Amino acid sequence: MPKRVDHEERRRLIAAAVRRIAADRGLEGVSLGEVAAEAGISKGLVQHYFASKDEMLRYATGTLREQVDRRVGTDLPEGLSGLRMLLLALLPRDAASRTDALVGNAFFVRALKDPVIAERFRTGHEQLRHGVAAMISTAQQAGELNADCDPVTEADLLIAVVTGLIDAILLGHRTIEEAERLIDHQLARLAAQ
Amino acid sequence: MPKRVDHEERRRLIAAAVRRIAADRGLEGVSLGEVAAEAGISKGLVQHYFASKDEMLRYATGTLREQVDRRVGTDLPEGLSGLRMLLLALLPRDAASRTDALVGNAFFVRALKDPVIAERFRTGHEQLRHGVAAMISTAQQAGELNADCDPVTEADLLIAVVTGLIDAILLGHRTIEEAERLIDHQLARLAAQ
């Protein structure tokens, strides 16, 4: 009987190699030869699973989304403590989250050109926006956050702050502790008096 | 008499071509052939001015800094109105500022590896941080902003907000008007009561 091959597993292995290369040296580093070497398989096998670089990159952004979801988690506590946990979990604090952030950055220019990747970015952003706004609403109802705040406006500001801080941490302009302090400072502003 | 060649002008011409390519398709697109074609000169001439891709990229980040400085201006009014003008001027609102933002993004991964580019990013960030904090202090002294705010903390938050909004605008997640409204909302929070 021939050996059973898990094709989805192979695709994930290749996508993981694409992500490591993208995080390390940007999409410039992503070539058939480099991906094959990084994944430890032949070029022919990479081509068997992905007909083009575009296809490979699109698949790799799909798995990124899943990885971020897995890291941030889906069973956060309700209200302010859950909101804080979510925002802090987005910061690059270890090797895995650092790679996620770098991959997102490496794919940025590509997202402006490739409609499939743009749609993934857009969906991810909308989900985060609605999630953060919903958590603010819940915290308002629980009397933890000021009822006068507009949840969507504050969600947009908090997400912009976190996005900016991710860049600042990666570049070494801010430490993770400074970023946490800044997020807490912004959250404290929204607190019920 | 042989024609006089302005070498600095040639370098700037090449750097402008590098920036256009980087904004359009990322650093993946920056090759000797592409740069020569974009600049409308021979590959040999590009090589005459830049011995390596690294050298060319470093020079191109230098000119980026100058372009941003020129756009934002150095003779902003003092206090809150100058602070607001500076922050809004950083947003990608036209072709030139959009290219600047995209180039900054394209060079991001490179900045993590290349100490010369990393230093340029660090210096640019420190200058912006000190400039924004100084403008907050001045606005506090003028009674426009709340004297209880810490200028450096608020500068870090405002810069993070603007950085995050630049990404959101480029990706089409937020409009320029929404971004302006969010910056004004954050500034209104710091206003003297």
Identify which of B33, B31, B41, B34 has the alpha carbon closest to the alpha carbon of residue B9.
B41
Q: How large a percentage of chain B has pLDDT more than 90?
A: 60
Q: Are B92 and B166 in contact (CB under 8 A)?
A: yes
> What's the CA gap between A38 and A61, in Å, rounded?
18
Identify which of B158, A97, A95 has the alpha carbon closest to the alpha carbon of residue A87.
A97
**Which residue of A26, A164, A186 is in closest CB contact with B163?**
A164
**Which residue of A30, A157, A178 is in closest CB contact with B161?**
A157
Q: Are A87 and A162 in contact (CB under 8 A)?
A: yes
ipTM, 2 decimals?
A: 0.88
Q: Are A175 and A169 in contact (CB under 8 A)?
A: yes
Q: Does A88 touch chain B (CB under 8 A)?
A: no
Q: Does A110 touch chain B (CB under 8 A)?
A: yes
Question: What pLDDT score was predicted for residue A32?
Answer: 93
Mean pLDDT across chain A, nearest whole number? Answer: 90
pLDDT digits (tens, 9 = 90+) for A116-133: 999 989 998 999 999 999
Query: Minimal Cα–Cα distance from B1 to chain A, Å?
Result: 44
Residue A52 has pLDDT above 70, yes or no: yes
Average pLDDT over every residue of B139-154: 96
From chain B, the residues in CB contact with A189 under 8 A are 189
Q: Does A71 touch chain B (CB under 8 A)?
A: no
Substitution target in A167, A177, A189 with the highest count of B β-carbons within 10 Å is A167
Question: What pLDDT score was predicted for residue B40?
Answer: 95
pLDDT digits (tens, 9 = 90+) for A7-40: 889 999 999 999 999 888 888 889 999 999 999 9
